[in-house]
């Protein structure tokens, strides 16, 4: 009987590899492969493959990390294809040049040297923002992980969004270097925009209160801005725990995102190619690990306050990325910037989350369609999404609607709710006046 528990184990390829042993409490091991602090891939190793001796684990590691090493050290042959709509054929990179890869001397050492060289240019000041509401225990855990960042950010701000008590405010006494900002109006987009207004740096980084960050997370996000055309950088989200059916379902693709360990650049050419089908901007990453230039906010505006938690439910981040691409700039997914996310533990929580995701997704598609006159968003809404759900329903019928398929019906209801939400809010302003709220920076502390 499946107990829906997987042991998470980090494997440092710079150390002696362990033998993986079966644990009766777990269905298997979720192994993440690292070279020191650089993530190189991961594998689910089911219990029927355990025990796994170190020699076999080494072979599995080589198979896993080969595309990532090729992506980082070679110019072609190992690049990950950008995500496409289901109706679009995928144009692959040139065939993998394994001979070139095999000719590399000490590729892992080269990879480390590459990163050490790049670290010298990641020096721009950074503000880290956490938007939170009534989750002080999770927030404290997130803030403790932020204290381990090296180098530290120039400032950390907590935006307390429409709290029901002063618990978060009182928690700040434990973190005297963190600035506290109260935003009484509910909504994640409102909180994000308020945080941008209060931040002092030109690079603004968002994370969520239900994550812990890797010590190098901030440095790796900064590196994504080496190209001046890049306005947004996102990072890799790994599970902090896989202890329940809901967490496993989310991890295995309830959101539809496959967390690659190869970097991706979403540029204007990609945007133009995908526009007739609805540009899948949600594949750019997660708002829980997102950095942006203040310049981008000045150019395209802040987060649409009709979207996100507390409003439509989701997609305030991806809709912002859509506007960045539509303005002719690029977004980068940089998987060396790692956060660890605590997925919802209960299936009821996951269902609520997936309902909100689809509600926000549909609302964002309609906003994008009518704001830009990009009718590919309607093609996704009217053609691709129904086909997607039809396929899920068939698979769900075959599987008995277990695991990931338990959320199908609430997702469909979320889509319907998204249509209704847009019809009610289509004429609502996307941003709160004044119009110039993003043109200035507030520099005073807000502990009072």
- CB atoms inside a 10 Å sphere around CB 181: 21
Q: Tell me the CA end-to-end span of the chain in Å, nearest whole number.
A: 54
What residues have CB less than 8 Å from 67, skipping those under 6 apart? 41, 78, 80, 96, 262
Q: 91-104 as b/e, with b when 16 or more CB fall inside 10 Å?
A: eeeeebeeeebeee
> Given a cut of 80, is residue 87 above it in pLDDT?
no
> Given a cut of 80, is residue 415 above it in pLDDT?
yes
- How far is residue 309's CA from residue 316's CA, in Å, rounded to a whole number? 8
> Given a cut of 50, is residue 439 above it in pLDDT?
no
What residues have CB less than 8 Å from 14, skipping those under 6 apart? 34, 35, 36, 108
Note the helical H segments in 233-346: 245-249, 268-274, 294-300, 316-326
- How far is residue 223's CA from residue 238's CA, in Å, rounded to a whole number? 20
The 10s digit of each residue's pLDDT in 169-218 is 999 999 999 999 999 999 999 999 999 999 999 999 999 999 999 999 99
Domains of the chain, by residue range, sit at: 6-115, 124-346, 350-425
Interhelix angle 188-198/316-326, rounded to 10 degrees, is 60
What rounded mean pLDDT belongs to the chain? Answer: 89
Query: Is residue 11 classed exposed, middle or buried when 0-12, 13-18 and 19+ CB atoms within 10 A define those classes?
Result: buried
Check the CA dihedral 368-372-377-379 and report its sign: positive
Q: Give residue 355's pLDDT.
A: 97
**Range with lowest mean pLDDT among 10-14, 96-100, 423-427:** 96-100
Any idea what the Cα angle at residue 207 is, between residues 70 and 304, rounded to 5°? Answer: 105
Give the closest residue to 70 by CA, choosing from 44, 45, 42, 94: 94
Check the CA dihedral 318-324-328-332 and report its sign: negative
The 10s digit of each residue's pLDDT in 264-321 is 999 999 999 999 999 999 999 999 999 999 999 999 999 999 999 999 999 999 999 9
- How far is residue 38's CA from residue 316's CA, in Å, rounded to a whole number? 29
The 10s digit of each residue's pLDDT in 18-66 is 999 999 999 999 999 999 989 999 999 999 999 999 999 999 999 999 9
Phi, psi of 342 (to 5 degrees): -90, 100
Check the CA dihedral 363-366-371-376 and report its sign: positive
> Given a cut of 50, is residue 434 above it in pLDDT?
no
Percent of the chain at pLDDT exceeding 70: 89
**Range with lowest mean pLDDT among 16-20, 77-81, 258-262, 329-333:** 77-81
Under the banding of pLDDT at 50, 70 and 90, the label for residue 423 is: very high
Strands 289-293 and 230-239, by their bridges, are antiparallel
Using an 8 Å Cβ cutoff, are 182 and 446 in contact? yes
Using an 8 Å Cβ cutoff, are 249 and 403 in contact? yes
Q: Give residue 448's pLDDT.
A: 38
The 10s digit of each residue's pLDDT in 115-164 is 666 665 557 899 999 999 999 999 999 999 999 998 899 999 999 999 99
Cα-Cα-Cα-Cα torsion 45, 50, 51, 55, nearest 10 degrees, comes to -50
pTM of the entire structure? Answer: 0.91
Under the banding of pLDDT at 50, 70 and 90, the label for residue 96 is: low
Give the closest residue to 126 by CA, choosing from 155, 148, 146, 159: 155
- How far is residue 17's CA from residue 11's CA, in Å, rounded to a whole number? 7
Give the closest residue to 65 by CA, choosing from 204, 262, 334: 262
Q: Give residue 442's pLDDT.
A: 37
CATH of the structural domain 124-346, one choice from 3.40.50.1100, 3.90.550.10, 3.40.47.10, 3.40.50.180: 3.90.550.10
Percent of the chain at pLDDT exceeding 90: 76
């Amino acid at each position: 009987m499946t107990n829906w528990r997987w042991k998470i184990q980090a494997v440092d390829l710079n150390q002696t590899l362990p033998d993986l042993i079966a644990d009766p409490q777990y269905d298997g091991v979720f192994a993440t492969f690292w070279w020191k602090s650089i993530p190189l891939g991961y594998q689910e190793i089911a219990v029927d493959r355990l025990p796994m001796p170190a020699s076999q684990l080494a072979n599995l590691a080589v198979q896993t990390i080969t595309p990532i090493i090729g992506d980082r050290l070679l110019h072609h042959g190992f690049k990950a294809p950008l995500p496409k709509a289901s109706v679009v054929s995928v144009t692959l990179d040139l065939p993998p040049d394994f001979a070139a890869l095999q000719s590399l001397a000490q590729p892992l050492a080269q990879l480390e040297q590459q990163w050490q060289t790049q670290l010298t240019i990641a020096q721009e000041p950074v503000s880290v923002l956490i938007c939170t509401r009534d989750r002080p225990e999770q927030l404290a855990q997130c803030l403790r992980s932020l204290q381990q960042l090296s180098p530290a950010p120039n400032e950390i701000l907590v935006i307390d969004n429409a709290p029901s008590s002063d618990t978060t405010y009182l928690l700040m006494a434990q973190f005297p270097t963190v600035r506290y900002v109260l935003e009484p109006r509910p909504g994640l987009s409102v909180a994000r925009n308020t945080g941008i207004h209060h931040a002092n740096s030109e690079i603004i980084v968002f994370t969520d209160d239900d994550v812990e960050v890797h010590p190098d997370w901030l440095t790796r996000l900064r590196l994504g801005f080496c190209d001046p055309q890049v306005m947004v950088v996102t990072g890799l989200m790994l599970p902090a725990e896989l202890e329940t059916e809901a967490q496993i379902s989310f991890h295995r693709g309830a959101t539809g995102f496959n967390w690659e360990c190869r970097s991706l650049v979403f540029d204007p050419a990609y945007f133009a190619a995908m526009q007739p089908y609805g540009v899948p901007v949600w594949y750019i990453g997660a708002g829980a690990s997102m950095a942006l230039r203040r310049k981008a906010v000045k150019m395209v505006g802040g987060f649409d306050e009709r979207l996100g938690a507390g409003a439509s439910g989701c997609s305030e981040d991806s809709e912002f990325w859509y506007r960045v691409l539509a303005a002719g700039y690029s977004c980068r997914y940089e998987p060396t910037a790692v956060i660890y996310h605590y997925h919802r533990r209960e299936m009821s929580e996951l269902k609520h989350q997936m309902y909100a995701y689809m509600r926000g997704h549909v609302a964002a598609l309609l906003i994008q369609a009518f704001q830009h006159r990009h009718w590919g968003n309607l093609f996704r809404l009217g053609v691709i999404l129904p086909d997607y759900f039809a396929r899920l329903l068939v698979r769900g019928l075959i599987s008995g609607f277990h695991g990931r398929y338990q959320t199908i019906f609430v997702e469909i209801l979320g889509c319907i709710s998204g249509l209704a939400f847009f019809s009610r809010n289509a004429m609502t302003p996307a941003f709160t006046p004044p119009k110039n709220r993003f043109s200035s920076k507030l520099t005073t502390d807000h502990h009072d």
